[in-house]
A and B are shown apart, each in its own frame.
Chain A
């Protein structure tokens, strides 16, 4: 059984996670928003996806130190994955192909390091 402290903690975390998800939906679903705001929102998906993705691809962490790293398997595999996504327009296909390419890249790196 979960102890009451943990239950309270998770409930609190749940609440502060839920409200930022819910309030904008309740506010904006049925209301006209100003044109500039809706234009701004239309840029958010590409901007946010890139903000999630780019640091993963071009930064590496050694210990606590974060630094630019333009020669890592994540970025190398991203190039063909990008091309595949643009060519196939299939999300599932992109995910599976990306996984396989990454697996292959790690194997090759492993082999070249031991050989």
Chain B
């Protein structure tokens, strides 16, 4: 690590936590809800803690609980988890270029906390600059710790809290809105978002599960790769450049 990096990392804990708190807020209702459902499905608080520590993937954990209630065996639950979490390949692939200063141990530690939420926050920060692998690691593990606490808290006393209090159900949606807005920095990114969003929505009408997210995102990215190479788009960009 060079001196510049050390300088940048002086307040890594504070800055990492400062970036992670919106994620924690968003995890609260979802983690608690998971805890409540898991407890109703016959899992104890320890089981919930163990699941959150070992898996740390919100949607897969919900699916696991509902499959357990339905009496599913382990193999189908594990296969479903794999499919549901395959989208993390896209997240890790996009983040990799910012983590070239990490050794394999650091990457192994980082991989544990790659989620839609931590990815969105870290990618935005890396892109705008002033971010480091160490700060990103704090974001990953702070949100993970928060997730574990919230799911266990849900198993203990989730039912005491009224549903929908203070609009907290909207926290993650609002966070994704913010993260998406920060990503849009040109026409082509708007196109990527529109194509991906519409494909994902249309596909959700016909297909269960969350494959629509992966397929939609890949369609959006692939379409933009193609659009970028059309003559029309090159002209459009040139015209915009000339204007600004």
> Footprint of B on A, CB under 8 Å?
1-2, 5-14, 16-18, 20-30, 33, 36, 38-59, 66-68, 74, 77-78, 81-82, 85-86, 89-92, 94-104, 106
Contacts and interface: CB of A to CB of B under 8 A. Distances in A.
Nearest to B169: A102
Interface in B118-176: 119-121, 123-124, 164, 166-171, 173-176
Given A12-B78, A24-B93, A94 B192 contact: no
B96 A28 contact: yes
B69 interface: no
Contacts, number: 287
B64 A51 contact: no
Chain A binding surface SS class: helix
Interface size, B (range)? 35 or more
B47 A6 contact: yes
A54 B93 CA distance: 23
Nearest to A78: B177
Chain B binding surface SS class: helix
A102 B56 CA distance: 27
A51 B60 contact: no
Interface in B176-217: 176-184, 188-190, 192-201, 204-205, 212-214, 216-217
A92 B179 CA distance: 11
A33 B92 CA distance: 14
Contacts of A95: 22, 25-26, 171, 174-175, 178
Given A99-B168, A99-B171, A85 B182 contact: yes
Contacts of B236: none
B221 to A, nearest CB: 4
Contacts of B91: 21, 44, 48
